[in-house]
Copies of this chain bind each other. A is one copy, B any other.
Amino acid sequence: MAKSNDNGFHSITWEDDHLRIIDQTFLPSREIYTNLNTTGQVWEAIKNMKVRGAPAIGIAAAYGLYLGARDIRESSYESFYLEIERLKVYLESSRPTAVNLQWALNRILTTIQAHKEKEVSELKDIILQTAQTIHDEDERLCKTIGEIGLEIVPEEAQILTHCNTGALAASKFGTAFSVIWHAHRENKVNSIWVDETRPLLQGARLTAWELKKEKIPFKLITDNTAGFLMQQELVDLVIVGADRIAANGDTANKIGTYTLAVLAKAHDIPFYVAAPYSTIDLSIENGDTIPIEERDTAEVTKIGSKEIAPAKIEVYNPAFDVTPHHLITGFITDNGLIRPDYKKSLGNFADREVGLEK
Contact = CB atoms under 8 A, between A and B. Distances in A.
Interface of A: 28-29, 193, 196-199, 201, 204-205, 208-209, 212, 217-229, 231, 254-256, 258-259, 262-263, 265-266, 300-301, 303-304, 306-310, 313-318, 321-322
B220 A300 contact: yes
Nearest to A162: B224
30 contacts: A193-B316, A196-B309, A197-B224, A198-B222, A201-B308, A201-B309, A204-B300, A204-B301, A204-B308, A205-B309, A212-B310, A212-B313, A217-B314, A218-B314, A219-B314, A219-B315, A220-B300, A220-B314, A220-B316, A221-B317, A222-B223, A224-B255, A224-B259, A225-B256, A227-B259, A227-B262, A259-B259, A262-B263, A263-B263, A306-B306
Per assembly, the copies of the chain total 2
B220 A255 contact: no
B309 A204 contact: yes
A336 to B, nearest CB: 29
A17 B144 CA distance: 71
B309 A208 contact: yes
Contacts of A262: 227, 262-263, 266
Contacts of A322: 231
Contacts of A317: 221-222, 225
Contacts of A29: 307
Contact of A227 (B201, B219, B321): B321
A180 B200 CA distance: 30
